[in-house]
Amino acid sequence: MRTLLLATMIAVLSAGVSFADSLDFTGLPFEDNGTPIVLPLATIHGFTGHIYVGAAGIDHEICGFRVDEGDCLGNLAVDFTSGVSGLTLVTSGYDEGDFVDFIALDSLGVFIGGIANHTGNGIVLGLSGLSDLKTLLILDHSSDDTNGMAYDHFEFNPRQEVPEPATLSLLGLGLVGIGILRRRS
């Protein structure tokens, strides 16, 4: 009976535990991929109609690509298949004057946070305090005499659906087990 009680407690406590995941661009062609790029965990749209994979010669780095200018000054929208939390990514801006805004929206399209005027190369950008992030808008405001910003290492925790009826059933079984133990003693 104690084993049943212990198993019930473990099941209840572990319900809804999520594990880190990432967006993987390494299997995509090392070139202008058009838009959108559809991945298992997200769809990425380029506002200019193009997304370049392999920016700065790195196979896992992407940017919003402006074909007419041949630079990474395009804007992106990352639409996750379900809400995520703990999002981090690495930004790469090599030129003075490269800067970008990040706008986070929830599943209802409501603004939940962001970072304005971000600049830097190899900087880990953390939006980890946000939960239920569904869409990340990346708006590149770099000056025209720069190459713009690129992004990689998108890591996050996907939202895990908690099976409420099963959780409540397990909790109920645990309470019944406690009741039986009390009656016996």
Name the average pLDDT for the chain: 82
Q: How far is CA 23 from CA 11, 54, 61, 80, 154, in A?
A: 29, 14, 11, 10, 6
pLDDT band at 24 (very low <50, low <70, confident <90, very high): confident
pLDDT band at 29 (very low <50, low <70, confident <90, very high): confident
What residue ranges define each of the domains in the chain, with the CATH number in brackets? 1-17+162-185 (no CATH), 19-159 (2.60.120)
pLDDT band at 51 (very low <50, low <70, confident <90, very high): very high
For residues 159-174, b (16+ Cβ closer than 10 Å) or e, as one string? Answer: beeeeeeeeeebeebb
CA gap 104, 109 in Å, rounded: 9
Q: How far is CA 172 from CA 6, 167, 169, in A?
A: 13, 9, 5
pLDDT of residue 160 exceeding 80, the answer is: no
Q: Which long-range contacts (CB under 8 A, 24 or more apart) does 12-15 make?
A: 12/167, 12/170, 12/171, 12/174, 15/162, 15/163, 15/166, 15/167
pLDDT band at 129 (very low <50, low <70, confident <90, very high): confident
Residues 136/102, Cβ–Cβ less than 8 Å: yes
Q: How far is CA 4 from CA 7, 81, 165, 184, 185, in A?
A: 5, 36, 18, 16, 17
Which is higher by pLDDT, 106 or 181?
106
pLDDT of residue 10 exceeding 50, the answer is: no
For the segment 161-172, the average pLDDT, to the nearest whole number, is: 67
pTM: 0.76
Report H helices in 100-184: 164-184
The SS3 of residue 75 is coil
